Amino acid sequence: MTAAAPATHVPPPNGRSLFIVGLGVGQVCSWGTLYYSFPQIAQAMSVELGWSKAELYGAATLGLALGGLAAYPVGAAIDRGHGRAIMTGGSLLAGLLFVLWAHADSMALFYLAVAGIGCMQAATLYDPAFAVIARRAGPLNARPGITALTLWGGFASTVFIPLIQLLLDNVGWRDTLLVLGAVNIVICGTVNFLSIDPSLDAAPPRVAGAPAPGRGAVAEVLRRPVFWALAAAFTAYAAMFSGFTFHLYPLLVERGFDTASVVSAIALIGPAQVAGRVAVSVLAPRVPVRVVGSFIVAIFPVAFLALEFMPPHFEWVALFALALGVANGLVTIVRGLVVPELLTRRAYGAVNGALAMPATISRALAPVGLAMLWTAAGSYDPVLITVIAFSVVFAAGFWCAALMARPVED
């Protein structure tokens, strides 16, 4: 049952509201535990148990693929007013899965736990949180809240990567997983439950004669070329960024950059993401998303082409990392706003979930695919060329969508 709209007017949430602060704390902890923790934990497991990287990362790939399949039903459930149950339940279940992972001595139990955690990302990370904000504020008023939430999420790696390493060094990977489970149950579960109050949601927009929200809205946008252009763009983006991020370190080393320069450059990406989001929230808070996005998508092919030819010096790779971080940080905001600004104002969660489904699956498969390409070629040259091709598809798809889109009136 859809929650009734509040009897009194609820102002759109901004970055200082307890609603956004609560969701923001949850995003920092959810991204830090569910997403950023895996490589560090997997490395420690490999050393102790002798499992191969392919075996370990196969579980993460399976989890991301399951998360892609769950994106649409999760978004549709949030549209029906179940955001509190979805995000709170997702955090609690993720916490229990971390506990299960901590006790895993067999590959089957490990796959069950890690694949389940990957699936819970669909219920706890940006996409469901954006849908909750759109339901609270209304799609047209969601931009300040979505932008503010991405600022919170940008600190997840800064907080949790060193914290997880500290735990691994002092208590081992099994107890580290128990701590991560407690973070999800105690912190994420609590803040998601307290922050999301369905009684304060804005009334969903209704148009006389229009199909009911949910499947009707999704069926309608599926008939629009704009949707397919955006789906192609963000699917290519997910493959590009996921695959490149996974192979970034060895690719740069192979191209002649020393390890100190590579590590220092990679450390710049997170702060650059936050800086880009702050800049657009201050300098361009009302610029249409099609304008912001059309500029941002051009940065990726230019940056990757520059990497193909740049000399192996720190100042060059640092500039590359800063450009990549700023652009990626802004894509997160653009991705959260394209539905109400370019597609429809109805059923944000369901439409956003339909848009996210192929992108999430490509994000899961790209690292493995690029690894196979490297194995076949014995070099990262074809990998970088493939990444450049993905970036061109991303830019072309978004530009096509921006040109085709008409003002959204529903």
DSSP symbols for 144-200: HHHHHHHHHHTTHHHHHHHHHHHHHHHHHHHHHHHHHHHIIIIIIHHHHHHH--GGG
Query: Residues 138, 71, 387, CA angle at the centre, nearest 5°?
Result: 105
- Alpha-carbon gap, residue 119 to 71, rounded angstroms: 9
CATH architecture of the region 18-200 = Up-down Bundle (1.20)
Specify whether the CB–CB gap between 88 and 192 falls below 8 A: yes
Q: Closest by alpha carbon to 233, among 391, 105, 27? A: 391
pLDDT attached to residue 312: 92
257: helix, coil or strand?
Answer: coil
pLDDT attached to residue 113: 97
Phi-psi region of 359 (alpha: psi -120 to 50; beta: other; left: phi over 0): alpha
- Alpha-carbon gap, residue 292 to 288, rounded angstroms: 7
**Percentage of residues in the chain having pLDDT higher than 70:** 92
Residues, the chain, total? 410
Within 10 angstroms of residue 308's Cβ, the number of other Cβ atoms is 12
CA atoms within 13 A on the CB side of 220: 19
- Alpha-carbon gap, residue 12 to 134, rounded angstroms: 10
Return all residues near 226 (Cβ < 8 A) that are at least 6 apart: 342, 343, 401, 404, 405
> What secondary structure letter does DSSP report for 82?
-
CA atoms within 13 A on the CB side of 205: 18
- Alpha-carbon gap, residue 169 to 151, rounded angstroms: 29
Largest CA distance in the chain: 64
pLDDT attached to residue 405: 84
**Quick one: tokens of 384?**
């970088």
Specify whether the CB–CB gap between 321 and 303 falls below 8 A: no
pLDDT attached to residue 259: 84
The CATH 1.20.1250.20 portion of the chain extends over: 18-200, 215-404
Mean of per-residue pLDDT scores for the chain: 88
Write out the CATH class of domain 215-404: mainly alpha
Instruction: Tell me how far apart the terminal alpha carbons of the chain are, to the nearest angstrom.
Output: 22
Question: For the segment 345-398, what is each residue's pLDDT rounded down to a tens digit?
Answer: 888 999 989 998 899 889 888 888 888 898 888 888 999 999 999 999 999 999
251: helix, coil or strand?
Answer: helix
For the chain, list residues with pLDDT below 50: 1-9
Q: If DSSP states are collapsed to H, E and C, what string results for 325-361?
A: HHHHHHHHHHHHHHHHHHHCCCCHHHHHHHHHHHHHH
CA atoms within 13 A on the CB side of 177: 23
pLDDT attached to residue 7: 40
- Alpha-carbon gap, residue 21 to 195, rounded angstroms: 8
